[in-house]
């Protein structure tokens, strides 16, 4: 019988939405909200209309750093918007729609700042944020065919990682960025105890420091600090890398990708330390406890590298949970408190909200993903 070959479907019909872009957009939108409305306290109506800032004169005092951060901060947002619209809206139409959404988002963030006494709604911020989202949207519209239509990067992602890995890869990409905010212990994320302590003390109108009760007092000697940091750093490192391993297929180069993730985290940590505390302190985080934690973590990872993806994900959950528990129960480190006193936040004040958000919530995002990872991942890995 004569068989007739049907023509392939056009790219528009074969193209699939990008789960990576949509998960990234959600995470980045939360980051923008937290950074814009940080510290989420002191809300009040001062009698100024929320949109009054639009017609106000341009601010007299600003720095090039503030303008650059506003522009750079919204470029990824514009790119992720365009990626999330794909394949339903593409090209110039996607760039225009993303720009409108970005401008409305920035305008809303600024308007709500009217009710925060520690923040100032600024039309200059709106202009620079809008410029950033416009640049990101235009770049993404040009790069979409290269990134989302059978590009080499997309083919590698499909070859190395299981189909359900998109959200997990977003979380892992945020792990190096979570190192920006100063932490009491290397990789010691999720330190909620001080924040919960303040809330409870205010709610109970009590002078008792709940944080001291949780942390068994204030004092700690240097040996105890190094021991605590060894445990916390090793658990967090193992949890993050095993999460990466659990998303990989057999052909993936596990060791190089794991070293790339660790190297990125260390590089960001060093650059942030140099930026906040001076170039001489770029490696101040590399304490004996941190060194031991890295060595212990690498040894544990070597023992788990050939384990099944299911086992790797279970151990990752355990390690991340132990790290988060330990960082909230470990006694306060007086050396870290003394270091923070030298931190001249100044122009970085508005940037600290996003950095603290990542430091606090990264382990929670990772645990949520690992606990909700579909069972099919273990079967397809």
Among 194, 181, 179, smallest CA distance to 328 is for 194
> Quick one: what percent of the chain has pLDDT higher than 90?
28
Residue 13 is given by DSSP the state: H
Query: What are φ and ψ of residue 161, in 5° steps?
Result: -125, 150
pTM for the whole structure:
0.71
- Residue whose entry in the numeric block shows the structure tokens 């070597």: 302
Tell me if residue 161 falls in helix, strand or coil. Answer: strand
Q: How many angstroms separate the most distant Cα atoms in the chain?
A: 88
The model's pLDDT over 227-245, given as tens digits with 9 standing for 90+, comes to 888 999 999 999 999 999 9
How far out from the chain centre does Cα 341 lie?
25
Residue 309 has pLDDT above 80, yes or no: yes
Are 307 and 256 contacting, i.e. CB atoms less than 8 angstroms apart?
no
Are 265 and 172 contacting, i.e. CB atoms less than 8 angstroms apart?
no
CA distances from 125 to 48, 76, 135 (A): 18, 16, 15
**pLDDT level of residue 339 (50, 70, 90 thresholds):** low
Residues with Cβ < 8 Å from 288, sequence gap 6 or more? 226
Strands (E), 133-248: none
Q: How many beta carbons lie within 10 A of that of residue 193, not counting itself? A: 19
Helices and strands (DSSP H and E) totals, the chain: 16, 0
Say what the pLDDT of residue 202 is: 64
Are 333 and 188 contacting, i.e. CB atoms less than 8 angstroms apart?
no
CA atoms within 13 A on the CB side of 42: 10
Say what the pLDDT of residue 333 is: 65
Give the residues across from 161 on adjacent strands. Answer: 248
């Amino acid at each position: 019988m004569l068989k007739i070959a049907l023509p392939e479907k056009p790219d528009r019909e074969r193209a699939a939405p990008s789960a990576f872009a949509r998960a990234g957009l959600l995470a980045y939108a939360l980051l923008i909200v937290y950074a814009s409305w940080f510290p989420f306290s002191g809300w009040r109506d001062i009698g100024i209309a929320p949109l009054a800032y639009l017609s106000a004169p341009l601010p007299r005092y600003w720095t090039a750093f503030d303008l650059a951060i506003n522009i750079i901060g919204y470029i990824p947002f514009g790119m992720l918007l365009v990626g999330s619209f794909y394949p339903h809206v593409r090209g110039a139409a996607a760039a225009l729609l993303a720009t409108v959404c970005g401008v409305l988002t920035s305008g809303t963030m600024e308007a709500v700042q009217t009710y925060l006494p520690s923040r100032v709604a600024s039309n200059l911020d709106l202009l620079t944020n809008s410029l950033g989202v416009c640049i990101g949207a235009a770049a993404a519209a040009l790069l979409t065919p290269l990134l989302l239509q059978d590009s080499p990067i997309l083919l590698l992602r499909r070859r190395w990682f299981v189909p359900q890995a998109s959200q997990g890869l977003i979380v892992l990409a945020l792990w190096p960025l979570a190192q920006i905010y100063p932490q009491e212990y290397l990789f010691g994320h999720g330190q909620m105890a001080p924040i919960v302590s303040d809330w409870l003390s205010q709610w109970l109108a009590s002078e008792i420091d709940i944080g001291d009760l949780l942390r068994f007092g204030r004092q700690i000697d240097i040996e105890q600090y190094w021991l605590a940091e060894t445990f916390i750093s090793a658990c967090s490192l193992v949890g993050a890398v095993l999460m990466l391993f659990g998303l990989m297929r057999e052909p993936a180069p596990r060791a190089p990708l794991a070293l790339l993730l660790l190297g990125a985290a260390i590089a960001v940590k060093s650059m942030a330390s140099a930026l906040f505390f001076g170039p001489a302190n770029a490696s101040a985080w590399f304490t004996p406890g941190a060194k031991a934690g890295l060595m212990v973590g690498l040894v544990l990872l070597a023992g788990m590298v050939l384990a099944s993806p299911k086992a790797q994900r279970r151990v990752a959950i355990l390690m991340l949970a132990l790290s988060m528990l330990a960082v909230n129960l470990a006694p306060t480190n007086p050396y870290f408190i003394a270091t923070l006193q030298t931190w001249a936040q100044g122009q970085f004040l508005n940037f600290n909200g996003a950095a603290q958000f990542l430091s606090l919530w990264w382990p929670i995002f990772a645990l949520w993903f690992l606990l909700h990872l579909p069972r099919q991942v273990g079967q397809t890995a």
